[in-house]
Amino acid sequence: MANKKPSGPLDEFTRRPAMRIVVYCPDLAAARLFYEDTLGCRLASVGEEAITFEFFGGKLHVQRGAGPAAQGIHTGIAEFGLDTGWEDWHRAVDHLNYIGVRYAAPPSFTGRGTPEESAYFSIEDPGGNRLGFTASREPTRSEK
């Protein structure tokens, strides 16, 4: 009897993998304040040269360093972030406005009044890493 061929990329794993992102920041104390206090991420581990956070179902590893952009290196990653539900996106904007966060790209909308209406904003962490947040009004796109 032939072995059954996996039907998808997750079939090969014995447990569902989680996204892992690594970014650099020269000031780990500032990064900790940003990810814990501004975004509400749970601290997973702290070391002298790195901090790991639970980042919305994945792991975010912030390592002490200048980062690729400051070194003139292009990694191909423009930003990372979340695709949230419509109401959650608006609550996030309200919270960030309340605490006075400076946006890299302010909250904006495309397709206003259409089924394809979407929302976007981005912020930067203390290391200059850009985090983008999107939402779509239609539940089939982001709230399912």
The pLDDT of residue 140 is above 70: no
* pTM, to two decimals: 0.80
Residue ranges of domains in the chain: 18-65, 78-144
Paired residues of 51 in beta bridges: 46, 62
From CA 74, how far away is CA 114, in angstroms rounded? 36
100: left (phi over 0), alpha (psi -120 to 50) or beta: left
In whole angstroms, what is the distance from residue 28 CA to residue 11 CA? 37
- In this structure, whether the domain defined by 78-144 belongs to CATH 3.40.50.720 is answered with no
Per-residue pLDDT tens over the stretch 19-36: 899 999 999 999 999 999
Three-class SS state of 39 = coil
Same fold, 18-65 and 78-144: yes
pLDDT at 143: 45
Give 133 or 71, the one with higher predicted confidence: 133
- Residue 114's φ and ψ, nearest 5 degrees, are -115, 165
Q: Distance between CA 31 and CA 28 in Å, rounded?
A: 5
Q: What's the average model confidence in pLDDT over 1-8?
A: 58
Beta bridge pairs of residue 82: 133
Residue range 18-65 in CATH 3.40.50.300: no
Cβ count near 76 (within 10 Å): 5
Strand segments, DSSP code E, in the chain are 20-25, 42-46, 50-55, 58-64, 80-84, 103-110, 118-124, 130-136
